[in-house]
Amino acid sequence: MGKGEEMRSTPILAAAIGGPLWLIGLPNYAHPEVLADCGPSSGTGYYLMTPAITAKDAGWKKEKEEPGGFQLVRSGADFDIFFTDALGTRSAKADGATVSLGSTNEQLGILNILVTYSGTGVLESYLFNLAAKNVAYTVTKTRTPVPLARLLVASCQ
């Protein structure tokens, strides 16, 4: 990559995050902006066999559709996920999570957002395609009687 190329970003991701990616690391006290507004999710889960889960119930299972939705919100260099369901709207950060930008693919408009709920055994990884307006994400839970890994998808606006 030439010197001028490393600072260039494509219009898709640059528009979504408010400028070239190298600006993400700079303080920006702008108002929060919704990068993706995603609807209900569906997918599959893999349930590990434990004393609480028999061999018959372990393995791959189709997940019920997750009603509600969620939003990816950026405020300056900070990200958060806001969930809306029957209980109302809540923030991953307000629930005690660390939300961080994992990686990007500027040419395709891809953002990977990592959400870690410290001490709970819950990890989430969101792969947003801002150009195609969809998201695939994983949820893994280890500190529960029912350890599982889920892969879900949703359409976004």
22-52 tens-digit pLDDT: 334 444 456 899 999 999 999 999 999 999 9
Closest listed residue to residue 9, CA positions, set 105, 101, 79: 105
Amino acid at the residue 15: A
| Mean pLDDT value across residues 98-123 | 95
Task: Locate the domains of the chain by residue range.
Answer: 11-155
Mean residue pLDDT across the chain: 85
Instruction: Quickly state the pLDDT bin for 19 (edges 50, 70, 90).
Output: very low
